[in-house]
């Protein structure tokens, strides 16, 4: 291997080790929770049960030796065995085995609640953190791959808690006790063989597993990519059908699965190598110790019971050593999976509340945009010094071509992003000085494409206010002119809307969206091209509902169709991130500027559409 590759490999291994220890440190507090004393008690009692189980397990071969010696008539029975005989010793052996299992099960029963509590809290922490990350982060990540990272990470936590504490720790304890017994009861050569065998086994296991980690990482990437493509394709089911792209999607998915297959094959092959090497090392150690014992039995320095005892100990440590290989591989892989999840947890939230942020106090709802600037990329400014005041209770419409910055203003107002220059204030309060929750509570949004949860109509309307009563839900539905439609459905408000609300038409989804915003009852309303994706008749019907919800509120409406905002108190025309015109509808038409040109163009298009419809009729 070239020197550069060796250096890179060492750096990668060191980085993985740092991530592994970071992950372990992050998990350990859940095993010693300061806010839950019962967790500590359960961990202590579980550890006590573990130690008792291991002490009994390590003592069992002594009972086995006494039974063999009693049956063969060799050696001197220990004092405790003289009064019970061979049958009694055999019964004692069975009881010892039973107690070993019983204390092991008691340990698991005590610890399972601790492990599940840790799992739930970590899953909740990850889920909560995901909602705290910025919109910028979410629109640059693939949801399918992100869900896979969380899924694998949570499973990795469960595995780590279960096996690291109750497999690795007990195994070290057992191997140490066996080595001491071999050195004391027999001689140092037996202990030396055991120690050398264990050391060689562990070194080989660790070395091969480190290689497998890199393969596992690539397999995870391929798995995430395949999963993301599957989810993306299924979410766009209709689009796939529109373009007859089933085979294209299948080929795209298969290509990702092919990469996963190649990595999975390498993982399986490396696993076979690991298992073969482990078996060879353990077998050599077992043969060496048994040969040594057999020679001493023939020489008369050991009894047959001693030979059986040596064999019992070697078999006893062989089983956990074989398990160690599996446990280490899984722990190492779990650390990789968990590392990705903890990387996610360490992803900083772009938008945070400042220390001591006040709650937004909306007295009237006056919104002031004071020389605001914004860019996603410093080389490509989106807004350039926009200044605008929306008086309380007034409706202001933002219009302009695509890319002029209309929707960006809406996102800045909801504080999905912070302005890069200037300020936005509501009743004189800078949005950066108030809590995000109070800001979000004060603003109701009806977007262009209302996305619904895959639940009932009742649930989706009630999402506007979590503690809403049935009467309030129905009142909101009536206000959005959708109650009668719901009551005509076989299951009424219990009707499931399907994934993203696909069982409803565009107009029906918009009405549900309007109903939940009416239920929220915010003092400020943001209509982000709420009807631009609807047909003309549906748009007119929805406009009636929107006018009803806008009564008594400060409203900013982002419009594509100018006919929907002619009654606005103020119309602001944006172009390339700057305000180029503003005024009432009639005033802007009289100026014969950009707005008038847009109005003339849309009017001509609508007239042609009406003529085509009349001709078709």
pLDDT single digits (tens) 370-389: 999 998 877 888 898 899 99
- In this prediction, residues 396-419 reach a mean pLDDT of 88
pLDDT at position 140 over 70? no
pLDDT at 249: 85
What is the rounded distance in angstroms from the CA atom of residue 42 to the CA atom of residue 32? 10
pLDDT value for 551: 81
Token pair for residue 19?
Answer: 């991530």
What is the CB-side half-sphere exposure of residue 443 using CA atoms within 13 A?
A: 27
The pLDDT, as a whole number, for residue 12 is 44
Residues 6+ apart with CB under 8 A from 253: 226, 229, 230, 233
**pLDDT at residue 4 greater than cutoff 70:** no
pLDDT at residue 10 in the model? 44
Residue in 320, 338, 325 with CA at minimum distance from that of residue 160: 338
Q: Is the pLDDT of residue 532 over 70?
A: no
Q: Give Dmax (Cα) for the chain.
A: 120
How far apart are alpha carbons 218 and 208 in whole angstroms? 16
Burial class (CB in 10 A: 0-12, 13-18, 19+), 364: exposed
**400 and 575 Cβ atoms separated by less than 8 Å:** yes
Q: pLDDT-based confidence at 427, cuts 50/70/90?
A: very high
Predicted pLDDT of residue 146: 65
pLDDT of residue 136: 65
Q: Are 511 and 481 in contact (CB under 8 A)?
A: yes
Q: Tell me the pLDDT of the chain averaged across its residues.
A: 80
Side-chain-side CA neighbours of residue 537 (13 Å) = 2
Say if domain 367-616 classifies as CATH 3.40.47.10. Answer: no
R_g (Cα) of the chain, nearest Å: 36
pLDDT of residue 177: 84
Tens digits of per-residue pLDDT, 114-135? 878 877 777 777 778 777 776 6
In 454-559, DSSP assigns E strands to 524-528, 554-558
Half-sphere exposure of residue 460: CA atoms within 13 angstroms, side-chain side: 29
What's phi and psi for 361, nearest 5 deg?
-110, 100
Helices (H), 424-467: 436-442, 457-462
Q: In the block, which residue shows the tokens 């069992």?
A: 60
Q: How confident is the model at residue 11 (pLDDT cuts 50, 70, 90)?
A: very low
For residue 615, what pLDDT band results from cuts at 50, 70 and 90?
low
- pTM for the complete prediction? 0.63
**What is the third-level CATH fold of 26-345?**
ABC transporter transmembrane region fold (1.20.1560)
12-46: burial string, b at 16+ Cβ within 10 Å, e else:
eeeebeebbebbeebbeebbebeeeeebeebbeeb
Tell me whether residue 339 is exposed, middle or buried, using C-beta atoms within 10 angstroms of its C-beta: 0 to 12, 13 to 18, 19 or more: buried
Pairing mode, strands 429-430 and 421-426: antiparallel
Percent of the chain predicted with pLDDT > 90: 11
User: Alpha-carbon distance 591 to 559, whole Å?
Assistant: 20
Asked whether the CA dihedral 455, 458, 461, 463 is positive or negative, the reply is: negative
The closest of 424, 439, 350 to 383, measured between CA atoms, is 424
Place of tokens 């991530």: 19
Is residue 81 predicted with pLDDT exceeding 60? no
Q: Dig out the tokens for 392 from the structure.
A: 């309380």
The predicted structure's pLDDT at residue 103: 86
Domain ranges of the chain: 26-345, 367-616
User: Above pLDDT 70, what percent of the chain?
Assistant: 84
Does residue 1 have a pLDDT over 60? Answer: no
Range in 64-78, 116-130, 179-193 with the lowest mean pLDDT: 64-78
Q: Are 506 and 430 in contact (CB under 8 A)?
A: no
Q: For residue 434, is pLDDT > 80?
A: yes
Distance CA 451, CA 510 (A): 9
Of 313, 345, 332, the C-alpha closest to 175 is 313
What is the rounded distance in angstroms from the CA atom of residue 113 to the CA atom of residue 109? 8
Can you give the pLDDT at residue 7? 42
Q: Is the pLDDT of residue 71 over 60?
A: yes
């Amino acid at each position: 291997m070239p020197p550069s590759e060796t250096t890179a490999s060492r750096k990668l291994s060191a980085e993985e080790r740092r991530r592994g220890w970071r992950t372990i440190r992050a998990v350990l507090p859940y095993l010693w929770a300061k806010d839950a004393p019962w967790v500590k008690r359960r961990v202590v009692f579980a550890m006590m049960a573990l130690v008792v189980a291991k002490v009994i397990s390590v003592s069992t071969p002594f009972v086995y030796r006494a039974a063999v010696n009693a049956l063969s008539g060799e050696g001197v029975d220990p004092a405790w065995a003289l009064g019970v005989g061979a049958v009694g010793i055999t019964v004692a052996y069975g009881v010892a085995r039973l107690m070993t299992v019983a204390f092991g099960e008691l340990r698991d029963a005590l610890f399972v609640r601790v492990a599940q509590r840790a799992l739930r809290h970590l899953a909740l922490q990850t889920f909560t953190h995901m909602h705290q990350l910025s919109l910028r982060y979410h629109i640059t990540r693939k949801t399918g791959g992100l869900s896979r990272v969380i899924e694998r990470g949570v499973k990795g936590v469960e595995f780590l808690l279960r096996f690291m504490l109750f497999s690795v720790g007990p195994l070290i304890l057992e191997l140490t006790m066996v080595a001491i017994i071999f050195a004391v009861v027999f001689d140092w050569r037996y202990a030396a063989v055991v120690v050398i065998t264990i050391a060689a086994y562990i070194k080989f296991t660790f070395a091969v597993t480190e290689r497998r980690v890199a393969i596992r990482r690539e397999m995870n990437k391929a798995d995430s990519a395949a999963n993301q493509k599957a989810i993306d394709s299924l979410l766009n089911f209709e689009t796939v059908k529109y373009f007859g792209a089933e085979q294209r999607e299948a080929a795209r998915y298969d290509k990702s699965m092919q990469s996963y297959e190649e990595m999975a094959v390498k993982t399986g092959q490396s696993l076979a190598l690991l298992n073969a090497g482990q078996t060879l090392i353990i077998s050599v150690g077992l043969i060496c110790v048994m040969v040594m014992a057999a020679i001493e039995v023939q020489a008369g320095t050991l009894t047959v019971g001693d030979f059986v005892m040596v064999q019992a100990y070697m078999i006893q440590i062989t089983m956990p050593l074989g398990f160690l290989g599996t446990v280490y591989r899984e722990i190492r892989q779990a650390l990789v999976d968990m590392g990705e999840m903890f990387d996610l947890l360490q992803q900083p939230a772009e938008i945070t509340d400042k220390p001591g942020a006040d709650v937004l106090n909306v007295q009237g709802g006056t919104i002031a945009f004071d020389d605001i600037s914004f860019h996603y990329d410093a080389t490509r400014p989106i807004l350039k010094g926009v200044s605008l005041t929306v008086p309380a209770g007034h409706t202001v419409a933002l219009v302009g071509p695509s890319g002029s910055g209309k929707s960006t203003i809406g996102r800045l107002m909801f504080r999905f992003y912070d302005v890069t220059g200037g300020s936005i204030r509501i009743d004189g309060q800078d949005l950066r000085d108030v809590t995000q929750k109070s800001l979000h509570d004060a603003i109701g949004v009806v977007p262009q494409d209302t996305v619904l949860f895959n639940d009932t109509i009742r649930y989706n309307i009630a999402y506007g206010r979590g503690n809403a009563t049935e009467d309030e839900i129905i009142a909101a539905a009536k206000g959005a002119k959708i109650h009668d439609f719901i009551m005509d459905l076989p299951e009424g408000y219990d009707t499931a809307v399907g994934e993203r609300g696909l069982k409803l038409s565009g107009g029906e989804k918009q009405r549900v969206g309007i109903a939940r915003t009416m239920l929220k009852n915010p003092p400020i309303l943001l209509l982000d091209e709420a009807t631009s994706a609807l047909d003309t008749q549906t748009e007119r019907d929805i406009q009636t509902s929107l006018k009803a919800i806008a009564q008594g509120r400060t409203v900013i409406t982002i419009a594509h169709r100018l006919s929907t905002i002619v009654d606005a108190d103020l119309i602001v025309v944006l172009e390339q991130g700057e305000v180029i015109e503003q005024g009432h509808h009639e005033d802007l038409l009289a100026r014969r500027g950009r707005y008038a040109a847009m109005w003339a163009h849309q009017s001509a298009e609508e007239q042609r559409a009406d003529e085509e419809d009349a001709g078709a009729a």
